[in-house]
Copies of this chain bind each other. A is one copy, B any other.
Amino acid sequence: MKKEIKQQSILLFEEKGFSETSIQDIVETLGVTKGTFYYYFSSKEQLLMDIHLSYIDDLLEHQEKIQQTQHSNREKLIQLVALLITDIANHGPSGKVFFREMRHLCEENAVEVKRKREQFRKNLESILREGVAQHEFRQGIEPEIVAFAILGITNWSYQWFNPSGEISAEHLADIYSDLVLNGIA
């Protein structure tokens, strides 16, 4: 039941937004009552936090795996872009919720999520930095700002990219890797 509530919530939060989705909305689609919701979650915010943690933890884990391989930084970057893009296909709604609704976390929780989010960015940054050191990427690029650019490109795709449309996630990932690698070559 807990899992179902979470699943359903993600869909609704994505569709209507966190504030616009009432507990009533959530439980109604599951055919249970509000009491049931509060049996599993102590508050609406706690549910949101739960969703956030699942998402970012999963992403960090995948990132770590990529980081630990012996591949070149160029290859790692390709894989990371692919991870971010294909993630949409797999957990699309989760991602939208993640990027859009963090504001509704309480101070304490927001801090925790932000730390992890920045961890991800820092990891990406260090691939760029390493790549520059290894002369895989152009000298003089600014790793921090380029990292933001890459995240902008991939995260923005949550706003428009439809994985079941004409372009596949893999193809999009290729295009974006290409664009980025050219940009920093």
Give A contacts to B, CB under 8 Å: 16-17, 19-20, 100, 103, 138, 141-142, 145-146, 148-149, 151-157, 160-161, 167, 172, 175-176, 179-180, 182-185
Contact = CB atoms under 8 A, between A and B. Distances in A.
Given A19-B17, A19-B20, A103-B17, A167 B145 contact: yes
Nearest to A156: B152
Nearest to A101: B17
29 contacts: A16-B103, A19-B19, A20-B103, A100-B100, A138-B182, A142-B175, A145-B167, A145-B172, A145-B176, A148-B153, A148-B156, A148-B157, A148-B160, A149-B156, A149-B179, A152-B152, A152-B153, A152-B155, A152-B156, A153-B153, A153-B156, A155-B156, A156-B156, A179-B183, A180-B183, A182-B182, A182-B184, A182-B185, A183-B183
Nearest to A20: B19
A31 B138 CA distance: 55
This protein's copies in its complex:
4
Contacts of A172: 145
A-B interface, 6 closest residue pairs, ranked by CB to CB distance from nearest: A152-B156, A183-B183, A19-B19, A152-B153, A179-B183, A152-B152
B19 A175 contact: no
Chain A residues touching B, majority SS:
helix
Nearest to A183: B183
Contacts of A100: 100
Most buried by B among A19, A154, A156: A156
